[in-house]
Structure 1
């Protein structure tokens, strides 16, 4: 299954550069948690301060299970806290939401 999500970064060139630096090679334990959840591929793109994520998953993946595993993993919580210093939610996000799932509109 493919999922596409969006999130904004704080509109500060220095912070954006730092954020990109962290994603040139993510921490091994973070990559492991992503793969263990059933995410087989993940890409993040940026334009300005807007991020776009594409996730390819296998049949074992669920957002609920990933969220529960992340909440129980201190290394993922540490990573998420660090990344939150660079991120800002989209205007339509509900409290506690970060990455928002996008609706598919067109496929050829």
Structure 2
């Protein structure tokens, strides 16, 4: 099975209390199972989020079932995903260069060690 990697970035609000709460939601076993299962069902085989200060980096490995357009459509019509995203927006803020309504910005790969 071949995989493809997507990387994204988003900021958290620069508030230590909010950052701590966000980290609790993402601690092992705390993410809502409906959210992780929805991603798995759409071809996300691994998803990791890293944090430095208030800037987050998401690494998402997907298989051949993954279609970003389909995922966006399915997520937009899933009440539990919409509830999760609304809750997470309490903690997140768009990057300064993000288009209106865009949270996670794709990262451009500029180097790979050979």
Give 1:58's match in structure 2, choosing from 63, 87, 91: 63
CA RMSD of the aligned region, Å? Answer: 0.6
The TM-score, its normalising length taken from structure 1, stands at: 0.98
Give 2:88's match in structure 1, choosing from 71, 78, 83: 83
The residue aligned with 1:40 is 45
| 1:37, distance to aligned residue in structure 2 (A) | 1.2
Alignment size in residue pairs:
108
Unaligned 5+ segments in structure 1 are: none
The residue aligned with 1:21 is 24
1:7 aligns with 2:10: yes
Of Structure 1 and Structure 2, which has the larger fraction of its residues in helix? 1
| 1:68, distance to aligned residue in structure 2 (A) | 0.4
The TM-score, its normalising length taken from structure 2, stands at: 0.93
Unaligned 5+ segments in structure 2 are: none
Q: Which runs of 4+ in 1 moved over 4 A?
A: none
State the distance in 2 between where 1:27 and 1:51 align: 19
